[in-house]
Amino acid sequence: MDKQTMVTREQSLPHRQEEIKVASKHAVLGNVTQGPWPTHAQKAYFALGCFWGAERLFWQQPGVYSTSVGYMGGFTKNATYEDVCSGKTAHTETVMVVYNQELTDFWTLLEAFWKAHNPTQGMQQGNDVGTQYRSAIFWTDDMQKMFAEKSLSLYQDNLNKAGMGKITTEIKKAKEFYFAEDAHQQYLHKNPNGYCGLSGTGIDF
Amino acid sequence: MHKNNPHGGSYDMSALSQALPELAPHIITGQKGQLTLDFANPLAIKALNKAILKKDYKIDFWDLPDGYLCPPIPGRVDYLYHLNDLLPQSNDRSAHVLDVGTGANLIYPMLGSRIFNWRFVASDIDTIAVNCAKQLAKANKGLDKQIKVRQQTDESKLFANIIGKDEYFDITLCNPPFHASQEDAMAGTERKNRNLKRNKDKRGSAIKSDNQKDHLNFSGQSSELWCEGGELAFIKKMINQSAAFKEQVGVFTCLVSKKENMAAITASLESQNVASFKFVDMSQGNKISRFVAWTYDNEWLLN
């Protein structure tokens, strides 16, 4: 079937019993990957194409405490990378970002998010094609929702001025985050010459 | 109202809803056939604020997370015009102003930088409020250059941790928590809602209840609404702590909502050996409010 069409719940792959286990320490930042989190920590979830490059973008931001890659927004519990690549889970490749609210804020992360990819491409990002590469912001509280929506309309104005298309980024409440396999965590640190398809529009936020 | 406050008349609902279409569904026809709002509906108040900020102050984005205080703009603008009267008119640079306890709404810094081009430092004890305020400044082009938001980490301190070593502020402002306890704050909110229901058309009341059915869930986080000892204890604390910053602040000011606190505030200022002080009355409709201003600078006569 067409990988750019979202599967319905009925069409999606069945759940898996077993959770994927990942290393407890971040390979770059050295902090924990699954909590417990320090005070003033806040979570945000961003999807902007292949999660290898997306995760690196966020671990490089000042004030970010930890990052992990995984799957969100679809149906299949504990999906594997293979499941997601089949296009039959409806998940999108997602980065969980844990940031220290005293050192940075969600707006700063949003700025990095919009500038780093092309949010007008629908069910693909660059050469990576399929629903698993769609752009999304999954918010964890009302404040994130309000600023995410505002940032979208601001960036849309900027894109309009440059004659670019409509933003297709989904802004939704965060659901369960399923960790991707450990080999994908901090992938570009483990594989410095690895693939990174991340490329922005060149339009400033 | 201050003579320069542009919010003296009634709201121009059609112009406001033109500026912000989301206001339109909240507009109702009053008893005299005029266009008005359901002032008891917090969503209507929020939309009204957004519209005023957009139309009159070119603040394109203003919003609040649920449960935070939604301030009425006309009264806030009034305080700022009165503060402007206290500033030396000979200043050739824009005033540097400190807002103690800005809240999530960041309203004074936003309005003050747009109306008078002041530069602000805004503080708060509540982490979520600070976070929201920071992002509101960033989300409005230009404001982030004029407004710095800082987290107060010690709830016993008002100026320490916030005023930097080499910083000078022309004036400080504060809208203090005026209730002595959460119960007191809730009783006040209920009273306000009852009055509002009786008097739906009157304008300018502060709507604090987000959810009319659940008063435990009213707008305004605890640090915005109450503190131990209420308004008086808070202002006395501010007066005490101001002495340590007398070289770094021209004039200190704070709103005083309870008239009966004026005598005790006067006594406190007299024992503090300030150079001069005064109470400034502000009236909005039939609501009288006031603020107190004091200085340690002998050149700066407030009387």
Return the CATH number at B77. Answer: 3.40.50.150
Q: How much of chain A, in percent, has pLDDT values that exceed 70?
A: 100
Question: Whose CA is closest to B256, among B275, B282, B277?
Answer: B282
Report, as an integer, the average pLDDT of A58-85: 98
Among B20, B54, B61, the strongest candidate for a mutation testing the A interface, having the largest count of A CBs within 10 A, is: B61
pLDDT for res B222: 66
A103 touches chain B (CB under 8 A): no
- Kindly give, in sequence order, each residue whose CB lies less than 8 Å from that of residue B92, ignoring residues fewer than 6 positions away: none
Rounded to two decimals, the pTM is 0.87
pLDDT for res B181: 67
Whether A34 is covered by a domain: the verdict is no
pLDDT for res B221: 66
Whether B115 is covered by a domain: the verdict is yes
Whether B204 is covered by a domain: the verdict is no
Q: Where are the alpha helices (DSSP H) in B102-181?
A: 107-116, 127-139, 143-146
CB A120 within 8 A of CB A165: yes
Residue pairs between chains A and B whose CB atoms are closer than 8 Å: 33
Whether B266 is covered by a domain: the verdict is yes
CB B26 within 8 A of CB B38: yes
Quickly tell me which residue has 């081009």 as its tokens. Answer: B117
Which residues, in sequence order, are bridge partners of residue B293?
B253, B278
Report residue B48 as tokens. 């009204």
Whether B60 is covered by a domain: the verdict is no
Q: What are phi and psi of A74, to 5 degrees?
A: -115, -150
pLDDT for res B178: 72
Our count of domains for chain B comes to 1
A38 touches chain B (CB under 8 A): no
Whether B201 is covered by a domain: the verdict is no
Provide the Cα torsion B290, B292, B293, B295; round to 10°.
Answer: 170
pLDDT for res A157: 95
Whether A61 is covered by a domain: the verdict is yes
Q: Which domain holds residue A50?
A: 41-190
Report residue A105 as tokens. 């804020």
Mean pLDDT of chain A: 96
DSSP run (H or E) holding B256? strand B249-256
Whether B250 is covered by a domain: the verdict is yes
Whether A204 is covered by a domain: the verdict is no
Q: Is the Cβ pair B134, A142 closer than 8 Å?
A: no
DSSP run (H or E) holding B13? helix B13-19
A24-38, A62-76, B270-284: least confidently modelled range: B270-284
Whether A84 is covered by a domain: the verdict is yes
CA B241 to chain centre: 21
Among A109, A147, A204, the strongest candidate for a mutation testing the B interface, having the largest count of B CBs within 10 A, is: A147
pLDDT band with cut points at 50, 70 and 90 for residue B185:
low
Our count of domains for chain A comes to 1
CB B276 within 8 A of CB B253: no
Q: How many Cα atoms within 13 Å fall on the side-chain side of residue B7? A: 24
pLDDT for res B209: 39
Q: How much of chain B, in percent, has pLDDT values that exceed 90?
A: 66
pLDDT for res A60: 98
CB A177 within 8 A of CB A92: no
B43 touches chain A (CB under 8 A): no
Say whether the ipTM exceeds 0.85. Answer: yes
Residue A88, domain CATH: 3.30.1060.10
B138 touches chain A (CB under 8 A): yes
- B131-156 pLDDT, tens digit per residue, is 999 999 999 988 999 999 999 999 99
Which residues, in sequence order, are bridge partners of residue A173?
A139
Question: Whose CA is closest to B9, among B40, B46, B43, B34?
Answer: B34
SS3 content of chain A, % helix, strand, coil (to 5): 25, 20, 55
Q: Which domain holds residue B259?
A: 65-180+219-295
Q: Which is more confidently placed, B303 or A144?
A: A144
Beta strands in chain B (DSSP E): 27-29, 35-37, 96-100, 119-124, 147-151, 169-174, 249-256, 276-284, 287-295
Report, as an integer, the average pLDDT of B168-172: 97
Give the whole-angstrom CA distance, residue B202 versus residue B196.
Answer: 8
Q: In what order do the strands lie in the sheet with B147-151?
A: B147-151, B119-124, B96-100, B169-174, B249-256, B287-295, B276-284
Report residue A197 as tokens. 């398809």
DSSP run (H or E) holding B120? strand B119-124
Among A39, A40, A107, A152, the strongest candidate for a mutation testing the B interface, having the largest count of B CBs within 10 A, is: A107
B212 touches chain A (CB under 8 A): no
A90-99, A158-167, B223-232, B262-271: least confidently modelled range: B223-232
Mean pLDDT of chain B: 86
**Closest partner residue to A102 among B135, B138, B151, by Cβ?**
B151
Report, as an integer, the average pLDDT of B169-184: 84
A151 touches chain B (CB under 8 A): yes
Report residue B263 as tokens. 């005598």
Q: Is the Cβ pair B131, A143 closer than 8 Å?
A: yes
Kindly tell me the burial class for residue A55, based on how many C-beta atoms sit within 10 Å of its own C-beta (0-12, 13-18, 19 or more). Answer: buried
Length of chain A: 205
Whether B234 is covered by a domain: the verdict is yes
Whether B12 is covered by a domain: the verdict is no
Q: How close is the nearest chain B Cα to the Cα of A12, in Å?
A: 35
